[in-house]
Structure formats: C-alpha cells, structure tokens
Amino acid sequence: MPAVPTPHFAYVFERFPSFTQTFCAREVLELQRQGTRLLLFSIRDTRREALQHFPASLANQVITLPPPDALAREVEALKQQHLLPQPLVLALRHWGQKPDKARLYEAAWIGQKLRAARVHHVHTHFAGLAARTAWWIRHTYGPSYSFTGHANDLFCPDDSSDLKLPRLIADAAAIIAVSDYSAHWLRLHHPASAARIHRVYNGLDLDPFLPPAPSPASPPLLLSVGRLIEKKGFADLIDACALLRDQAIPFQCRIVGDGPLHLDLAARIAAANLHSHVALTGPLPQPDIIRLLAQAALFVLPCVTEATGGRDVLPTVLMEAMAAALPCVSTPIAGVPEMVLPGQTGLLVPPRDPAALAAALASLLADPPAARRLGQAGLALAHARFAKAATAAQLRLLLTAFGRLNGPPLSWALAAAHARRLLRSAAPPLRFTPAKTAVFP
C-alpha cells in the first residue's frame, strides 16, 4: 500500500466545526484547497452540529477527543504503559487539582496522535483553552505551536488558568492577529515577542455576497447584523432611528440576530414608538441575510467598547456588507477603520453618539450616488484585503517560515522570500489613502 502523506501541521480547536466560528472552517477548507495537508482535532464534540451545518467531507476529518472521564482513563492507561513523556508524567503528578488540569490530559492524548502522524507543529484559534493545550503539547512532546488571537481572548483574557496570555505569547512560534490594530496592541504590550506577531485578516468567500442585480427596498433599508450584545451598539442605532423618524426621513431598519439584549432592545423600540420603522428579525440563515444585503441602502454597525474592555476587533458582517457593495457606517473601534475608510468606503462616527450616527445616515440617504461610490470602493477593498485565498496563503507562508511544519506546502525558498516580505511590512499598504477627517461629521 502507498504511504499516507504526512500532514503539514495540525489544528487543535476547542470546538470544530462550530456554527459560531465559521471563519475557522473557511480557513481550513481554503488551506486544503491550496494543497495543505492538515490533521484536525476538536476537544469538544460538535459532530451533531457539524452534520447540520458543514459538509461531511470536513466533519469526517475531525478527530474528537473522548469525554473527560474516558479521556482521563485513556491517559492513565498510557501512563501505566510508560508511553507518556517524562515531563508530562511529572506535570500530571504535581499539577494537583488546579482548574486547568484537563489541558494536560488533552495534551497527552493529542500528543500521542501527533507523534504517530509525525506532525511537529500545532495551530489554534483564540488565546484560550486550545492554546493552553497546545502550550502543554509543546512543553511535553516538543511540537511548536502558534495561535490566532481575535478579540476578548486578547483584551479580556481568561485569568482562571495559571497559563496567562503573556506566557502563551512568549512561547509561541508565531502569534497571528486579525487586524493591524490588535497586532500593534500586542507588540506594544509584549515587545519581547514583537518579531513573532503578524497580522493575517480573517478571510471570506466574497462571491456569494455580491448580488447579480441589487433590488433596493422602498423606503430605503438600513441593515445591521450581529449578536444582540452591548459591543454591537444596537441601542445607539435605535436612538439614531428615532432621530431620523423625527426628521421625517423615509427609511426602514432591520436588525438581524439574537442575544441577551433582545428584550431590552425591543423595549427601547417600543418606548420610542418605532415599531413601524425598526424590526428585530431574530437570527436568519445566510441566504436570507444575502437577500437583505441586496435590498439594503446602507449597512450600519455602531460598535462600542464595553465597560469590561470587550470590543469587536474586525466584525465579519462589515466584510460581508462590503462584499455586497454596500456603504458602511460604523465607529472607529479597534480594527474597524481598516475596513471602513472614512469618506472612501463608508463613514465613521464617534461611539455612543446617536446624533452623529443619525447625521451620517441622513447624509448618505440624501445622496444615493455618493453612497454607491462608497459601496463600490468597499467592494474593491474587500477583495484586496479579505479574500480567503489571499489570507489563507499568507497564514500558510507564515507558519511555514516560523513553525516546525512538515513538507512544506510551498518550497522553502519561496516561503522564506514571502516571509521576509511579510516581516518588512506587516501591513502592506493599499492604494486607499486615509481620509482627512477620521469621523463624521
């Protein structure tokens, strides 16, 4: 029988595939399309969810860890057979009943699979549970690890574990940030690791979002999509809609999503007597969202920073709206200005300022040709920065250069040349120039 090709590297996810993290599935599928051989692990069992929302060809590749009790028994059996590395045996002995001890068992089980597959590098998403498991794999079995940091895992890290974010960063072969904003923040707070911090945007399959022919609604539709939580700024959007209504500006607004603030936002709509203008639609499947994008005049996401520091770093829904050639109105929070370039692809307003938000929306509703120009520029920027083929290739090149990858997916010479270019410019400039005014008005 022909030998099975060795995987280039492994992913370790807390949950995979997961409906709430479809960007991970996009990344994996695109890397595979580009010829990267992957070993996929999921610590939690998502097989029921996977079969509902993802192709079987992806779900069937995932190696799911046993439940905690069975996992502990299997690791104990490996220990009795003297198959575990001595550092791991000692760690299991001395870690006691610390809350994160489960990460050692996960590392023990996954490490055996990596050793059998001759895999020497692990990548994870989020600086959380899976990254801590990868850290233990590194310190007991030897493979290097990297992780992609996103939002709250960086700005509001979990302090319940003895493995804090600085330790995860210090020992990683590479740290991937999903925006220039978060990459700069990481370099500022972890200067000793700055050379290993790189920006790779989350990639998106852009083609489904651009309709063959827009079908604008009447009155003009203001669309917003997201989980109903504080950092999305939906309360400010509702207050801005009340101001537009009071100015007799024709519009309708749809907020798509669900979450813990549903009742509060519904009460806010009722208190302002906005039932005829603003609707909470609940969550919708992607085909329905794409139809709404085709009908919308503007996309609105007035992000805010929560009291705990939580914030959206690079909202995927803004990418999707740009891919639908919609002008976007948002706030200069975190990485949003890397997507919404003021006066070029949309408008930015100060956070928690419904009056400024209403003024920006009114200005675009009053000038449809200008709005269309912003939307077309946003479409161009989406393809330049966020196309999944480009972002997956950039990730692959970085991991080839800095992780202990097998293979490699590209020739070492080509990967090294690309990596040198990436190091010289972590954020290659595009032909979009900053606007003179950062926010509207």
Whether the Cβ atoms of residue 428 and residue 233 lie closer than 8 Å to each other: no
404 is a domain residue: no
Q: Are residues 236 and 165 in the same domain?
A: no
Closest among 193, 96, 97, 95 to 140, alpha carbons compared: 95
Q: Are residues 226 and 375 in the same domain?
A: yes
307-334 pLDDT, tens digit per residue, is: 888 888 899 999 999 999 999 999 999 9
409 is a domain residue: no
411 is a domain residue: no
Q: How many domains does the chain have?
A: 2
Q: Are residues 170 and 242 in the same domain?
A: no
pTM summary value: 0.86
The DSSP secondary-structure symbol of 7 reads: P
Chain Cα centroid distance, residue 265: 25
Q: Are residues 37 and 172 in the same domain?
A: yes
437 is a domain residue: no
Q: How many CB atoms are closer than 10 A to CB 86?
A: 9
180 is a domain residue: yes
Q: Which residues pair with 342 in a beta bridge?
A: 346
Q: Are residues 184 and 318 in the same domain?
A: no
pLDDT attached to residue 212: 79
Closest among 223, 200, 226 to 311, alpha carbons compared: 226
Say how far apart CA 338 and CA 430 lie, in whole Å: 11
Chain Cα centroid distance, residue 130: 15
361 is a domain residue: yes
Task: Count Cβ atoms within 10 A of the Cβ of residue 95 and give its class: 0-12 exposed, 13-18 middle, 19 or more buried.
Answer: middle
| Residue where a domain terminates, one of 199, 218, 236 | 199
82-117 pLDDT, tens digit per residue, is: 999 999 999 888 876 777 889 999 999 999 999 999
Q: Which residues of the chain have pLDDT under 70?
A: 1-3, 51-52, 96, 408-441
| Residue where a domain terminates, one of 199, 222, 244 | 199
Q: Are residues 23 and 100 in the same domain?
A: yes
Q: Are residues 100 and 186 in the same domain?
A: yes
CATH number, domain with residue 165 = 3.40.50.2000
Q: Are residues 211 and 340 in the same domain?
A: yes
Residue 119: CA count within 13 A, CB half-sphere: 28
DSSP per-residue letters across 57-121: HHHTTEEEPPPHHHHHHHHHHHHHTT-S-HHHHHHHHHSTT-GGGHHHHHHHHHHHHHHHHT--E
Q: Are residues 149 and 211 in the same domain?
A: no
| Residue where a domain terminates, one of 199, 231, 254 | 199
144 is a domain residue: yes
Which tokens hold the place of 273? 């007597």
pLDDT attached to residue 438: 36
Q: Give me the domain span that covers residue 373.
A: 207-383
Residue 37 CB partners (closer than 8 Å, separation 6+) = 5, 6, 7, 8, 407
Which tokens hold the place of 223? 């669309």
pLDDT attached to residue 424: 45
Residue 72 CB partners (closer than 8 Å, separation 6+) = 105
Q: Are residues 184 and 158 in the same domain?
A: yes
Q: Are residues 161 and 227 in the same domain?
A: no
141 is a domain residue: yes
Say how far apart CA 104 and CA 88 lie, in whole Å: 7
Closest among 41, 195, 176, 201 to 117, alpha carbons compared: 41
Q: Are residues 139 and 259 in the same domain?
A: no
